A and B are shown apart, each in its own frame.
Chain A
C-alpha cells in the first residue's frame, strides 16, 4: 500500500468531518416528526428523487439562480462547486488507471501525483487515458483557480458581482475560507513542483514545473508543498461543520427534504435547523433588504440565520424585519427566511399571554348570498376603499353580504408574524366559524394580509378567496363592469402580501390599464419594495419607517406620475401619510370611473361562476 505521513492531516480531517456529519444528521433525523420521516423515506423511492437530483445539479453545482443574478457571481460559485466535484470524480478515475481498477484509500486519488510519476511521453497524448487525465485534471484545476481569482477580486470589487454590501464574516468563517482558498493554490504548487522534478503533469503543471525548476530548489520544496496542501484540506474539513461551508453537504439534504414536501414546523425543529445550516452566507439577501436604509443591516436574513445557528438569538434582530419577503425572493438556496424569523419570534414572545374572552360567539345573522365581502381591520381604516367596493358591487348588481360591516375580528396574521401562533389560532377559528356560517362560495377581501392568511391558514373547505383586485378584473373580463379611461399617468405598487405573498401581479394592472396609462417602475412585481407600513415589523419607530417609505416613494415617483395606485389599505395609508402624491386603491380608481354596461348579466350567473 502506498502511504506517506503527509496524508494524515487530510485523512484525519476527513474522518473527523464524517463523524461530525453522521452525528449531526442522525440528530436531525431523530428530531424529525414521524410523519416527516415517512415522507422523506417515501421520497427516496419516487420521482421526487430525480427532481431533487436535477435541482442539486442546477442549483448546488451549476448555480443557476446565482447566474441569473449576476454571471460573474454565478461563474465564481460554479467554478468552486462543479470544479471541485470534477476534481474528486476524475481524480478518482485517474487513480484507477494506475491501480489496476481496484478501490484505493481515500487520500490516494487526492495526492495521486505524489505517488505516481508517469514520465511516459505518449503519441496522441490526448487520446490516451493517462494523457487525457493529465490534461483534464490540469484544466479543471485552472477552472477552479479562475474562480478563486474572482473570489479575491470580489473582496474589493463586489459591485462587479452585483453586490453592494457583502457579509461580514466571523473569525471562524475566516479560518475556513482561508484554508479553502489555499487548498487549490497549494495543490497547484505541489503538483507543479513534483512535475518540475519528475514530469508527469499536464499542460499547466508541467509548464509551471519547468519554470519553477529553473529558479527554485524543488527537491526541497516539493514535499513541504504536499504537506501544506494536505494540511489546508485538513483544516478545512475540521472547520467545515461550524462554518458557513456546512451548507455544502446540508443544502443537498434540504433540497431533498423540500421536494419530499417537508416544511418548517410550528416551532424551530429539525427542518429549520437544516435550513440554518444550508445558508452559505453569500450575502445576496443583504442588498435587497430595505433595513439597510435605516442602518439595520445587522438584522438582514443572513445575520438572523447565523445568530440562530450559533444559538445566539437576538430579540432586537428578530424583531427588526418587515417580513416583506424580498430576501426570500432573492435567496439562491430557497431558505424560508420569514418562517425562520417567525420561529425565532415564537421563542422570544412565548411568555406573552392574551385574553380573547371578548370574542363573542354570535350566530351569523344575514342572508345567504353566495358572495361575502370582508374588509378586514385595515380595510376599516380606509373607509374610502370600503365605500368603493360597495359602489362597485352595487353597480355590477352583485348581491353580497358585508361580513364585517360592524367591525372585524383580525385575521390573525399580525399575531402569527409576531410568533404568537396559538393566539392567532383563536382568531382563526372564530373567523372561520363566522365565514363558514355564511354558506358563501366566494369570499372577497380588500386586504392582502387577510387574503394570504385565509389562503394559507384557514380551512374554508371549497370556499374560494379572492382579493378585490382579482374579482374586479374578473368582472371586467366577463363584461360585467365597464370602465371609462382617464387622461392619467399612474404607477402601480405591488403590495408585499399580494405580490410576492400571493403571486398576484397582473390582475390589478389589467384593471388599471383600462383606466390610466401605467408607467413602469424600476422595482416592481416580485422586486417591489415594501412601503414601510408593515405589520410584521415589531421594533422600528416611525422615523425609520418614514425613511423606508420615502425611499420607496422616490423610486415609484421617478416617472412623475399623477397617481400612485396600490391594492392594499396599509400600503395606501403608509404612502398617503407622506403627503407627496395622490394615492388610491385600485377599487377607488375603478369606482370613480364606472360606466354602465349595456347588457347587464344576471347575478345568479355570478354566484355560480364565483
Chain B
C-alpha cells in the first residue's frame, strides 16, 4: 500500500536531483584530478604530447576497468577483494593456456578468461547472497583460494610467454595512434554507465541504499547483487588481459590491486556501504590515483616513501569529500527522518518471528 503511493513521488524527486547528485558526489575527485593533471603539466612539460599522454592512459586502463567493476559491487553494498587475485590468475592462466595450445586465437583466449572471471564472480555472488556470508569474507576467501591455487598449479613460479597478438590489446594502438586499452576502457565505461541508467542499475542502487526497502518493493536483491559480482569478475579478467599485454607474465601481476580499486572507487565519491555514487566518479578516481602514482614518480619521491604520500593524500581527499557530504546532509534534515521510523516498525516483528522458531 504505502509502497505504491510512495514510489512515484520518490522517483520524481530522484530524477530531479539525479544529475546534480551524480556530479556532486564526483565533484571532489574531479577537482583532485584537475589539480594532479595540472601538477603533472608543471612537473613535466612534455607530458601532454599525444603519445606520452596516451601511454599514461594505457597504464591507467587496468585500474579503470577494476574500478568500474568494483563500483557495481560497492554501490550494491558489498566489497570485492578478489579482483587482484583474479588479475594474477588471469595472467598466469593465459600463459598456461598458450603453453598447452600454442596456436590459440587471442580472441578465444580472451573470451575464455572473461568467462572464467565471470564464473569467479558468480561464485562470489552466490556464496554472498545465497549463503549469507559477508562479502568481505567471501571475496577474501576467494582471494586465498585463487592465489593459493595459482601458485600450487605453477609450483610457485609461473613460466611461459604470451604471444604478440594476445598482448596487442594491452600494448598496441588502433589506427596507429589510439591504444586499444583506451578503447576497451571507454567501451566498458560506457557500458557500465548505460547499465546504471537501466532499470537493473536503479534496482542495484536501491538495493545498496536500503536492502529491506528494495526487497519490500519487489526487487530480487540477491539476483541483482549476484549480477554485480559477475560483472566485477568479468571486468577483472579483462583487466588481466590488459595487464598481461602491458607487462607480461608475473606472479605479482595483480597483487594489491583490490585495495587500489576500492581506494579509487571511494576517492570517486562512492559511498562504501552502497547506494550512492556514480561510475564516472569511480573511474575518475582510478584515473586520479594513477596520475598520483605518475606524479610521485616524476617528482622523484623515493620509491619507498611513495606509499606514505599516497596514504596521506587518500585520507585527505576522502576526508574532504566526507566533510562536504556531512554538511549537505545537515542542511537538509528531511531525508534522514524516515529511517528511524522504519526500524521502529521493524522492531516488534523481530521477537514475533523469533518466538515461534525457538
Our verdict on whether A and B bind, yes or no, reads no
Interface residues of A, Cβ cutoff 8 Å to B: none
Interface residues of B, Cβ cutoff 8 Å to A: none
